[in-house]
Amino acid sequence: MKNNSAYFRPALFAGLILSIINFAPGLNLVNCFCCAGLLFGGVLAVLFYRMDLPEGQTIMNIDGFYLGLWTGIFAAGFETVLNITIGPLIADVKFRMLENLMKRMLGGMQIPPDIMSQLSQAIAAAKRPALLDTLVSFFMIVVVYSIFTIFGALLTSAFIQKQRAKQD
């Protein structure tokens, strides 16, 4: 069995990139396309790991699983830190972007006041995150991110194995 610490560095870098993608206003919309940003995090982890492999050694599915798992955990941790530190500062920017997006989707129609009220409450809550909300959010993010990054990493490792088999 391989040492799990070999997965940490690639997963750490991929998790950092993934958390920035998911946190950045506007850039986070990439996940509207079948969680593409999360899948991309798993792909990055496998590619970073593959760069560190010695010549002749191939990546296995179990490697993809562990890389995806650790990437999801690291990304959730990084994103939680970003949400606590920078999140309150950019909450208004995210609100305005969401409001403009909704107006465009509605074709200039008025956004119902109930929806605007709920959005305002959500933004106010984001400006002062509570400890319990942060912990619950972290654990939910760990689960969701890990599922999708594992899937992306497994697909990438299977693709690499198939390409390797064609070469042999």
Domain count, the chain: 1
Residue 80 located in a structural domain = yes
Could you please report the per-residue DSSP string of 11-77? HHHHHHHHHHHHHSTTGGGGGGTTTHHHHHHHHHHHHHHHHHSPTT----HHHHHHHHHHHHHHHHH
Residue 121 located in a structural domain = no
Expressed as residue numbers, the domain containing 151 is 5-87+132-167
What pTM, to 2 d.p., does this model score?
0.82
Residue 94 located in a structural domain = no
pLDDT in tens for each of the 168 residues of the chain? 466 778 999 999 999 999 999 888 877 778 777 888 899 999 999 999 999 888 878 899 999 999 999 999 999 999 999 988 888 888 778 777 877 777 777 777 777 788 778 877 877 777 777 888 889 989 999 999 999 999 999 999 999 988 888 887
Please report, for residues 54, 62, 123, the alpha-carbon distance to residue 134 in angstroms, rounded to integers and kept in the order given. Answer: 40, 31, 14
Return the ∠ at Cα 80 (arms to 79 and 85), rounded to 5°.
Answer: 95
pLDDT of 2: 60
Report d(CA 146, CA 143) in Å as an integer.
5
Residue 99 located in a structural domain = no
Residue 79 located in a structural domain = yes
Residue 117 located in a structural domain = no
Residue 46 located in a structural domain = yes
pLDDT of 54: 84
Residue 157 located in a structural domain = yes
Report d(CA 125, CA 128) in Å as an integer.
5
